[in-house]
Chains A and B, each alone.
Chain A
């Protein structure tokens, strides 16, 4: 990991308007938790709502992938598009150091928004229920953020339409198709995240039932993160400038 590229990436991400939009997006779960706390019916089950609707629902299925997609594509996509990537690549810095610097910064930026968002939203909604739910999802969101960031980083080097491809993956593959084909859970970062969270609490299957057990979820998450990082490095080594005249 190259510290100069890491610092550059931090300044890049901080200067982008999309970072503000993503920060606002991270506030959505907190707002929903507040609403639940203030206006939930008397017979509502806070553990069920927190594990299934809030943290296992909107945070894991929407906020987590969107935040990581924006940061990962922001870290590489913009440079590749406007040609500034040449200033990093026309140097002897190993390509793996460039990828790792950008990936780690994008992941930490995403985690810095997602972790407090998930923890605060969970704590607000849970109202004294099993704290393992919040701890589990806090750990799972940070782990899931790394896998998503690695996958979207590769995507942003591999294609100029990374944002669209990422959205298709999140909403079509992980959303619509995973309900139809059970095997998709093995290729779904959302399911890895849910499986990792499930290791930290024990709720009845009707309340929260991830499609992957914790051990395979951790193994698959680690394998996909490593695979995507390797692919991103390989892709950057073969990166071609996108113009001809």
Chain B
């Protein structure tokens, strides 16, 4: 059934709606081996998309295929894929080891105890494995869920906000683990609403905004698009009006406005504006007190990508 050349994850015209609400709107992409970040603000449709890929939501339209097979109503795919859901809940009455061993037995592994021990070591949960998982911290629950997902050595790993609750050291450890898995030729797709998390790990990025695919491809190219968009700054200086007059002569500055007594500067390019502002201040004999970007929220960045 599996076509050898099929992409690990394949979406064709996939939509999902809940009543009148469209959560995912006509999305198509392929994901191959390596690490792919699914980036988007909260409520963008990332979890809906991941759940469709993992076979836990039926697409309202379109098709989702994993390793060449349909994802929906196909339990056989779980031999080769794994999902780490965002929700914290685990069987709290089981110890970490019991939880991972249960996963190993449900996958029919020949030596569940050994497989569980290996997976627990991968996420460095060995010292805590004998404790009931209900008492774990958020980060520990996250790691034991990852261990349970890795126990059968999946080809494709789908993770929903995997770094939630992890402290910086655990985060680095998990990132190293995912990099090693990717180097072995596995496909790792994870969602995040934090740009830096994707920047540090993903080779490829899919940007989802309001249920639509806003951008996809090499992360550096998309990061450049995000950086080189028009920017607005609020500037505070010793003489805002003198500075404004001088800034008008700068080619990188597209507009000047006074909003509620504050100087707002619009620029076509981030780097050009960063050079122009101090130069203009120096030439006008003005001291800059504060330069603050006014539109740096992730939503604004994503919105730009959608409308560009």
Looking at the assembled complex, report how far the CB atom of A6 sits from the nearest CB atom of chain B, in whole angstroms.
Answer: 12
Q: Is A237 an interface residue (CB 8 A)?
A: yes
Given contacts A83-B87, A92-B76, A241-B85, contact A4 B57 (CB under 8 A): no
Contact status B47-A245, CB under 8 Å: yes
**In the complex, which of the residues A11, A90, A92, A238 contacts B83, with contact meaning CB atoms closer than 8 Å?**
A90
Q: Shortest distance in angstroms between B237's beta carbon and chain A's nearest beta carbon?
A: 42
Nearest to A243 among chain B residues (CB) is B47
Q: Is A88 an interface residue (CB 8 A)?
A: yes
Q: Is the CB of B75 within 8 A of A240?
A: no
Given A84-B91, A95-B75: A2 touches B56 (CB 8 Å cut-off): no
Contact B85 A86 (CB under 8 A): yes
Q: Give the number of chain B interface residues (Cβ < 8 Å).
A: 39
Instruction: Check B97 for interface membership: any CB of A closer than 8 A.
Output: no
Q: Does B45 reach chain A (CB closer than 8 Å)?
A: yes
The answer, yes or no, to whether B90 is at the interface (CB within 8 Å) is yes
B94 proximity list for chain A (CB < 8 A) = 8, 11
Q: How large is the interface on A (under 10, 10 to 19, 20 to 34, 35 or more residues)?
A: 20 to 34
Check if A244 sits within 8 Å of B48, measured CB to CB: yes
Chain A contacts for B289, CB-based, 8 A: none
Q: How far is the CA of A238 from the CA of B79 in the complex (A)?
A: 19
Instruction: Contacts A12-B93, A244-B18 given; indicate if A89 touches B79 (C-beta within 8 A).
Output: no
Contact between B89 and A83, CB atoms less than 8 A apart:
yes
Q: Mark A86-123, 1 if CB is under 8 A from B, else 0.
A: 11111111110000000000000000000000000000
Q: Are B48 and A4 in contact (CB under 8 A)?
A: no
Q: Are B58 and A238 in contact (CB under 8 A)?
A: yes
Nearest-CB residue, chain B, relative to A11: B93
Once the chains are docked, how many angstroms separate the CA of A5 from the CA of B106? 8
User: In the complex, which of the residues B43, B87, B102 contacts A4, with contact meaning CB atoms closer than 8 Å?
Assistant: B102
Among A93, A241, A244, chain B packs the most CB atoms within 10 A around the CB of A244
- State whether A82 touches B87 (Cβ < 8 A): yes
Taken residue by residue from 130 to 154, chain A's Cβ proximity to chain B (1 for < 8 Å, 0 otherwise) reads as 0000000000000000000000000
- B8-51 at interface with A (beta carbon < 8 Å): 16, 18, 23, 42-48, 51
Q: Is A15's beta carbon under 8 Å from chain B?
A: yes
Q: Judging by beta carbons under 8 Å apart, are A90 and B58 in contact?
A: no
B134, chain A: closest CB distance, angstroms: 10
CA distance A82 to B48 in the complex (A): 17
Given A15-B93, A93-B106; A244-B45 close (CB under 8 Å):
yes
Given known A-B contacts A12-B91, A92-B107, A241 and B78 have beta carbons under 8 A apart? no
Do A244 and B105 have beta carbons less than 8 Å apart? no
Can you pick out 7 interface pairs between chain A and chain B where the beta carbons lie within 8 Å of each other?
A11-B94, A84-B90, A89-B75, A238-B58, A239-B56, A245-B44, A245-B47
Measured CB to CB, the residues of A under 8 A from B are: 2, 4-5, 8, 11-12, 15, 82-84, 86-95, 237-241, 243-245
9 tightest CB-CB pairs across the interface, nearest first? Answer: A91-B106, A82-B89, A83-B87, A241-B56, A245-B47, A244-B48, A4-B105, A241-B51, A15-B93
Extra pairs beyond A83-B87, A238-B73 (6, CB < 8 Å): A5-B106, A8-B91, A86-B56, A92-B106, A244-B48, A245-B44
